[in-house]
Structure 1
Amino acid sequence: MIDVNKLLEILLYQKDDPILFNSAFFFYFFAAFLLIYLAVGRSKEGRVAVFTIFSLYFFYKACGYYVGLVIISAIVDFNLSRWIYYTEDKRKQKSLLILSIILNLGLLFFFKYTDFFIGIVNDLKLANFQPLKLLLPIGISFYTFENLSYTIDVYRREIKPVDSFMDYLFFLSFFPKLMMGPIVRAADFIPQISQPYVLDKDDIGKGMYLIIAGLFKKVVISDFINQNFVQYIFDDPSKHTGLECLLGVYGYALIIYCDFSGYSDMALGIARWTGFKIPPNFDSPYQSSNITEFWRRWHISLSSWLRDYLYIPLGGNRKGKIRQYVNLLLTMLIGGFWHGASWNFIFWGAMHGGALAVDKVRLDWLKARGGGATGWVGTVMKVGGVIFTFHFVCFCWIFFKASTFQDAWALIHQVVYDFQPEVWLELYNGYTAVFWVMLLAFILHFLPGRMERYTEQGLSRLPVVASVVVMVVFIWLLVQVKSTQPMMPIYLQF
């Protein structure tokens, strides 16, 4: 007999157990969704309705009644964008755009930054406000930026607003990317809604590869390294040697990449299976030979959004070199603040902004002299650039990960003043499996892109039955190695 209370407990929102791509509940959710979605696949209205309903339920399972914020945001920006487009008065268009920006950023600011500024006011002894301790709605940073890009693009006459509210709600709530991105632009997504749903072998192979790769990155690499090594280091760096701390930083560089890119890969794979192509969000960023290249490869949807809707409107490189460097710094400061209400994130953004400005000076200098070195000297310099860039990014990750500035400086202090390289054998014996997983992760990351394409092509050649077997076997293996308690994704907090 069915236990109704147990069933309701599973189906209703649980604050301590939100739905995750790597949770058991999600596999049942996705199987049910896919069966119904395939059943209505010939009807555009049916696909939109099914996808939207499942997406809103997915969001409800992730953060409860905050699902209402997605619906309200969709209603507001759907109507404002249409008023902007069909109003001929330029001043009214601008006023409506400003209203959209204020409403979207105001909502984000209220939930994400109110307590941060209350803390500043209290620290300055200007008042003594009680923090609101608001629960941050999952995904609000991502769908806020999607709303803003949509209304701004409509205002610029780069796209025409959609006529159907359900189409816009579908775009905004699309569950594969709702919680942690990528930040998808309406111009890339909405035209695909009306296209017939056709799933070919390439879609199956590409989607399967992305889902398997994403789950592997998240569960086998990120969660394992985090639970068995890195979390101990960052809990109290002062208790560990400098060698342990340095390896912990390397481990965190893998964790944040595999965690976030793993979820992005799964989002792209699920989207591909349902007839939608989302632009990639990562491109082997630790292969970058300079910081400018890194930001072309890391969180591509955010860096391109900041470029198009912040850096260029600030003036970009059109108002002189000094202004360009200031614009880069401001853009990355705001990008850091987007990640969270913390001085650590602001400092992290400032370091990247300053590095981008310095790298721009270097690139201009090389350009003025006809380019960089070639031949073996160029190869050596490129390798050196990759090593330097990786370590600069790792240094910045310390402040991104550490709970406080004190913790960050404590870790740096251990690396500089208490390295103790002689403990390496004892450390290896204690964390053998972790270090081998880290080595595997670095090897996989630095494999050439053609290896990925070969794997995708191999999966696309499999018959449907074989594809199902591959997925079932992989999920079974995943269950054997995954932790009993799913690790919360890092970017869920943003």
Structure 2
Amino acid sequence: MNRLQDIFAFSEDFPLVFTQADFWIFFAVLYFMYAIVYRKKSVRSAYLFAVSLLFYYKTSGLFIGILLFSTVNDFFLGKAIYQSSSQLVKKTLVSISVIINLGTLCYFKYAYFFTDSYNSLFDTKYEVVNYLAQWANTWGSVDYFTVDAIILPVGISFYTFQTISYSVDIYRKQLKPLDSIIDFGFFVSFFPQLVAGPIVRAADFIPQIHKEIHITKAQFGNATFMILKGLIKKMLFADFIAMNFMDRVFDMPEMFSGFTNIMALFGYSLQIYGDFSGYTDIAIGLALLLGYKLPVNFNSPYKAIHCGDFWKRWHISLSSWLKDYLYIPIGGNRNGTVFSYVFVLVFVFLGSYAALGYAIAFYIAVTMAILLIVTLFSPKLAWHFNRNINIMITMLIGGLWHGASWKFVIWGGLNGLGVVAYKYWRKISPYEHATVWLATVWKIAVTFLFITFTRIYFRGNSMDHIDRFYHAVLTNMDWTNALIVLWEYRLVFIVMLIGYITHWLPYRTKDWLETQFTNSHIVIKGLISVIVAIICYQTYAADFQPFIYFQF
């Protein structure tokens, strides 16, 4: 009984995470109750909403208030947008929804980023103060909240984007608002995908709320397969290689050879894929067990043949969200706006300043400004700018979404340049339309190397840390000891090799494996599940390993 109380009570040190036994005890209890109530739609929604709130409270404590605020705010704004007959009122209400949601996100996620950037640029010494916590302490007459720090609520980037899309889709007349706040709360807070996605569109999920639920044998088998696959990705291909190799290297890159640092970077590409897609697989599997379908979020991204293809395969729910709610509204590939030019100019200057210093940033910004002025007199050059500037904006904001740091903006910008560069390269590429397998392998290899080496800006703790990585690579490759490194970490590299081989397996092979598992006898499923559990927990460390995307 004490164990159950610990599982269902909030603890900062022990949140409910898919890779811990506590979560599966939690899920077993809620699933037993769900089997009793799932046929009654209203009761089902209320039950899953309550369970989801409990899950989020267990993960984030009193930050549940932010989730409830976002839920109530957009539920009533959605109704008001739909019921208004005035286009001006509709625009005002949807603007209020976007401003409140983005304002909340910026307050919790970007307060330090904006303050530090301002201080660095203007040589000031402003400090962040948590005015919301200060107000709450005054209102409650207690000093419960810390006022000198703003803590990022888990999952806020994900559920904020969901509620924004709900209001915007109602404004676009693509969706009718829900009548029940319980149903809406269930949509926003559905616990499998609440803290790390995928980002769910209301148009895709809401129809499932009102349907009859029948969990077939095939669905159960498919759900179990997804969960086991996700656990292997996370615990074996992500956590094991991180704890036994990569974390050591990235903590002190200057203490290792350039070769070791590069191998760690290749390992990180596998880690972040295993970590994030592993979470998504488990979330999809859990949702299927409950009778709901979540969107596919990954499609073998390291099979991409160019950078644009990669972003159609990686974090698909975010890429499609940015396309529909940012890229197309600001002009797509048709035209740039004053906002587009000013935004890119400012971001390029600030990003260059953060990475290279004021002098170089100034010259880069001046060069860009001159080019923008030239476009006023050159329709052809303006056409090229207009086709690509919004891609850069989308990728820069996509980078900033991932983390409140200029290194994430630089990472997003590099990927944006990769997308733009391919658009021109494909026009002169000698093998663009080649169908031989060697050409495809070459395209995949080049794309994978580009994605991997830009990830140092994603993984590096700071710009200084990234500089130390580059210094080790450029000055101390130490090829003579490469074989020693491979031998000393042979188990890690074997796991990495298996991980990449399974990723690059043909789709038909993966589909065949899933079909065989789904159609197998329940005893076989149970035996495979036990084997997977043993393998995963044999590699499991005592240290808590959160999912990487929890921080976003």
Give the TM-score category using the shorter length.
over 0.9
Work out whether 1:79 is the aligned partner of 2:76.
yes
Work out whether 1:384 is the aligned partner of 2:442.
yes
List structure 1 segments (4+ residues) > 6 angstroms apart after TM superposition: none
Residue in 2 that maps onto 1:179: 195
Q: How many Å apart are 1:17 and its aligned residue?
A: 2.0
Tell me if the contact between 1:60 and 1:66 (Cα under 8 Å) persists in the aligned partners: yes
Residue in 1 that maps onto 2:27: 30
Residue in 2 that maps onto 1:110: 107
Aligned mate of 2:36, from 35, 39, 42: 39
Q: How many Å apart are 1:373 and its aligned residue?
A: 3.4
Tell me if the contact between 1:318 and 1:324 (Cα under 8 Å) persists in the aligned partners: yes
Aligned 1:205-220 pairs, distance under 5 A: 205-220=221-236
Instruction: State the alpha-carbon separation in 2 of the partners of residues 127 and 117 from structure 1.
Output: 12
Residue in 2 that maps onto 1:16: 13
Tell me if the contact between 2:232 and 2:532 (Cα under 8 Å) persists in the aligned partners: no
Residue in 1 that maps onto 2:451: 393
Residue by residue over 1:311-349, the C-alpha shift from the partner in whole angstroms, topping out at 9 and shown as x without a partner, is 101111122432121000010000000111101101001
Larger displacement relative to structure 2 (258-267 or 418-427): 418-427
Aligned 1:455-474 pairs, distance under 5 A: 455-464=513-522, 466-474=524-532
In structure 2, relative to structure 1, the CA distance for the partners of 1:365 and 1:322 (3 Å cut) is farther
Work out whether 1:96 is the aligned partner of 2:93.
yes
Residue in 2 that maps onto 1:489: 547
Work out whether 1:327 is the aligned partner of 2:398.
no
Tell me if the contact between 1:285 and 1:298 (Cα under 8 Å) persists in the aligned partners: yes
Residue by residue over 1:42-76, the C-alpha shift from the partner in whole angstroms, topping out at 9 and shown as x without a partner, is 11112112211111111011110111211111111
In structure 2, relative to structure 1, the CA distance for the partners of 1:429 and 1:465 (3 Å cut) is closer
Instruction: State the alpha-carbon separation in 2 of the partners of residues 47 and 458 from structure 1.
Output: 32
Tell me if the contact between 2:7 and 2:26 (Cα under 8 Å) persists in the aligned partners: no
Q: How many Å apart are 1:486 and its aligned residue?
A: 2.9
Instruction: State the alpha-carbon separation in 1 of the partners of residues 44 and 298 from structure 2.
Output: 28
Aligned mate of 2:424, from 361, 367, 373: 361
Tell me if the contact between 2:253 and 2:261 (Cα under 8 Å) persists in the aligned partners: yes
Instruction: State the alpha-carbon separation in 1 of the partners of residues 54 and 523 from structure 2.
Output: 30
Residue in 1 that maps onto 2:493: 435
Work out whether 1:288 is the aligned partner of 2:304.
yes
Tell me if the contact between 1:118 and 1:130 (Cα under 8 Å) persists in the aligned partners: yes
Residue by residue over 1:347-399, the C-alpha shift from the partner in whole angstroms, topping out at 9 and shown as x without a partner, is 00110111111112234567xx9x933343xx333221111111111111111
Work out whether 1:406 is the aligned partner of 2:454.
no
Secondary structure of the structure 2 residue equivalent to 1:297: coil
In structure 2, relative to structure 1, the CA distance for the partners of 1:434 and 1:473 (3 Å cut) is closer
Residue in 1 that maps onto 2:414: 351
| Structure 2, unpaired ranges of 5+ | 130-148, 336-382
Tell me if the contact between 2:57 and 2:64 (Cα under 8 Å) persists in the aligned partners: yes
Residue by residue over 1:426-457, the C-alpha shift from the partner in whole angstroms, topping out at 9 and shown as x without a partner, is 21221111010000001010001112211221
Instruction: State the alpha-carbon separation in 1 of the partners of residues 311 and 85 from structure 2.
Output: 38
Residue in 1 that maps onto 2:47: 50
Sequence identity (%)? 39
In structure 2, relative to structure 1, the CA distance for the partners of 1:87 and 1:363 (3 Å cut) is farther
Amino acid at match of 2:538: Q
In structure 2, relative to structure 1, the CA distance for the partners of 1:44 and 1:254 (3 Å cut) is same
Instruction: State the alpha-carbon separation in 2 of the partners of residues 251 and 372 from structure 1.
Output: 29
| Structure 1, unpaired ranges of 5+ | none
Tell me if the contact between 1:202 and 1:457 (Cα under 8 Å) persists in the aligned partners: no
Residue in 2 that maps onto 1:451: 509
Secondary structure of the structure 1 residue equivalent to 2:474: helix
Secondary structure of the structure 2 residue equivalent to 1:324: helix
Q: How many Å apart are 1:465 and its aligned residue?
A: 5.1
Residue in 2 that maps onto 1:69: 66
Larger displacement relative to structure 2 (462-471 or 84-93): 462-471
Amino acid at match of 1:424: A
Instruction: State the alpha-carbon separation in 2 of the partners of residues 425 and 251 from structure 1.
Output: 17
Amino acid at match of 2:281: D
Amino acid at match of 2:176: K
Amino acid at match of 1:411: F
Amino acid at match of 2:32: L
In structure 2, relative to structure 1, the CA distance for the partners of 1:360 and 1:156 (3 Å cut) is same
Work out whether 1:318 is the aligned partner of 2:334.
yes
Larger displacement relative to structure 2 (81-90 or 464-473): 464-473
Q: CA RMSD in A?
A: 1.7
Q: How many Å apart are 1:142 and its aligned residue?
A: 0.3
Larger displacement relative to structure 2 (449-458 or 284-293): 449-458
Residue in 1 that maps onto 2:274: 258
In structure 2, relative to structure 1, the CA distance for the partners of 1:248 and 1:33 (3 Å cut) is same
Tell me if the contact between 2:8 and 2:26 (Cα under 8 Å) persists in the aligned partners: no
Amino acid at match of 1:232: R
Larger displacement relative to structure 2 (196-205 or 82-91): 196-205
Using the size of structure 1 for normalisation, the TM-score is 0.95
Instruction: State the alpha-carbon separation in 2 of the partners of residues 389 and 119 from structure 1.
Output: 34
In structure 2, relative to structure 1, the CA distance for the partners of 1:476 and 1:380 (3 Å cut) is closer
Tell me if the contact between 2:411 and 2:458 (Cα under 8 Å) persists in the aligned partners: yes
Larger displacement relative to structure 2 (400-409 or 211-220): 400-409
Instruction: State the alpha-carbon separation in 1 of the partners of residues 498 and 523 from structure 2.
Output: 30
Instruction: State the alpha-carbon separation in 1 of the partners of residues 428 and 316 from structure 2.
Output: 26
Instruction: State the alpha-carbon separation in 2 of the partners of residues 30 and 364 from structure 1.
Output: 52
Tell me the matched-pair count: 486
Instruction: State the alpha-carbon separation in 2 of the partners of residues 476 and 412 from structure 1.
Output: 39
In structure 2, relative to structure 1, the CA distance for the partners of 1:259 and 1:136 (3 Å cut) is same
Tell me if the contact between 1:246 and 1:415 (Cα under 8 Å) persists in the aligned partners: yes
Instruction: State the alpha-carbon separation in 2 of the partners of residues 426 and 126 from structure 1.
Output: 48
Instruction: State the alpha-carbon separation in 1 of the partners of residues 194 and 313 from structure 2.
Output: 21
Residue in 2 that maps onto 1:374: 434
Using the size of structure 2 for normalisation, the TM-score is 0.85
Residue by residue over 1:54-106, the C-alpha shift from the partner in whole angstroms, topping out at 9 and shown as x without a partner, is 11111011110111211111111011011101101000000001000000000
Tell me if the contact between 1:209 and 1:455 (Cα under 8 Å) persists in the aligned partners: no
